[in-house]
Chains A and B, each alone.
Chain A
Amino acid sequence: MSVDDAALVRLCLLGNPDAIGILVARYHSDVFGMCVRLLRHQQDAEDVTQEVFLRVFRSLERWDSTRPLRPWIVGIAINRCRTWLGLRSRRPETVDFLDETLVAPNVNANETRELSAEIQSAVQDLREDYRTVFVLFHEQGQGYEDIARAIDRPVGTVKTWLHRARMEILERLKRRGLVEEETRRPTSGE
């Protein structure tokens, strides 16, 4: 990383084309990943990612430079996805949700491939707020503080949602026999 976010933003505000390119390159993967997970639609995710960056650059003057930039951008992405989901639910035409599961780069065995596909659909089926914190934590590697800023909720709520998301995924993988049920002992109730 050559330029820190605050300096990059200052250059962007001056209309520096290189700075705009660097900022987009730095964060478009996070934004797109979030959009794919929340919208479950490739084309919608691309459109919303572009829309998110237009909003980011339009409101860059309002960014508080004492706070990290990434949660701020991700927060805008989450809001745009929610708005988009609201609009899409009111559209009469049916939406072709993302069918094909993404394949992890180092996956070869059929069993592992199946586990990878199952965990993806488990994530997709989480309720929206659980899915958001899950993706931010496990896919994007963000910390609790940053997630709390992005979704504008207390850290305690983030931890609770994240824990519930993990438990739901784990239960689903167990039901499908993709993780060993033997580890569960009949000692106490869930």
Chain B
Amino acid sequence: MTCRVCDELIVAYMDGESPDALDAHALICPESARHRADTDQLLAALSLLPRPEPPVGLAQRIVHAVRKDFRQRNQARQLRWMAPLVLTTVAGLFFTFGIVFLTPDITRPATPEPIAIQEGVNQARDEVASLTIRTAQETARLFPHVEVSNLVPPQMPEQGSPLQPFREAGEIVSSGLQPLTDPACRAMSLFFRDLPVDAR
């Protein structure tokens, strides 16, 4: 369409306004006259354009879905309000039960961990002692003429304070090694004493 006047008048006519202005313009504008006739045909054709009608039951299905959604959202909203309350209550209960049941009982005897450590230390001490004694005895057997009267198992003191077993273990290890070191020293001195004079 090249005529601007016609353009506006056709739009107004299709919007339902009176065609008088368009008809007056069409008398002097052949293009507008042609468009006026086209528009009439189009309007007649458009009256045949059937409007899609919703199927029976669609409105009920929609209403049902909307109400269901409304209920669910209401429940979710209530849960959102209740959740902090429930959480606070649960946290409060945990706190209370925690104070009553989880506080350390100061009247109770020592916890089992120190006992386990002490037993382990005692066992290690016994092992080290028996090993050193056996080594010492074997060494002494190589030198039968050497007096090894001090090869006696060390006395195992009874358990006392928690630190005592460690101290005892240290003492026992050193005293356990003594039978080994003493015969070795004596064996060395005997060896040197029995050597021929010229070899010395």
Residues of A bordering B, CB below 8 Å: 15, 17, 20-21, 24-25, 28-29, 32-33, 36-37, 42, 45-46, 49-50, 53-54, 57-58, 102-105, 107, 112, 115-116, 119-120, 123, 138-140, 144, 159, 163, 166-167, 169-170, 173, 178-180, 183-185, 187-190
Contacts and interface: CB of A to CB of B under 8 A. Distances in A.
Interface in B9-51: 10-11, 14-15, 30-31, 33-34, 37-38, 41-42, 45-51
A138 B7 CA distance: 18
A190 B35 CA distance: 11
B61 interface: yes
Contacts of A184: 34, 38
B156 interface: no
Contacts of A144: 15
Given A57-B66, A179-B38, A119 B46 contact: yes
A166 B38 CA distance: 10
A145 to B, nearest CB: 12
Contact of B31 (A28, A46, A187): A187
Interface residues of B, number: 38
Contact of A183 (B38, B63, B66, B70): B38
Given A159-B11, A180-B41, A32 B58 contact: yes
A54 B45 CA distance: 36
Contact of A173 (B30, B45, B50, B66): B45
Contact of B53 (A29, A57, A112, A170): A29
A115 B63 CA distance: 37
Contacts of B2: 188-189
Nearest to A189: B2
Given A28-B58, A166-B14, A184-B34, A54 B65 contact: yes
A112 B30 CA distance: 29
Nearest to B74: A15
B186 interface: no
B45 A119 contact: yes
Nearest 8 Cβ contacts at the A-B interface: A183-B37, A36-B52, A32-B54, A116-B48, A104-B50, A102-B50, A179-B41, A187-B30
B139 to A, nearest CB: 89
Interface in B49-81: 49-55, 58-59, 61-63, 65-67, 69-70, 73-74
A-side binding surface: helix, strand, loop or mixed? helix
20 contacts: A15-B70, A17-B63, A20-B63, A20-B66, A24-B62, A24-B63, A28-B58, A46-B58, A50-B65, A54-B69, A102-B52, A104-B47, A107-B48, A115-B45, A120-B50, A123-B49, A144-B15, A179-B41, A184-B34, A187-B31
Contact of B30 (A32, A105, A185): A185
A116 B63 CA distance: 33
A167 B41 CA distance: 12
A31 B1 CA distance: 33
A170 B41 contact: yes
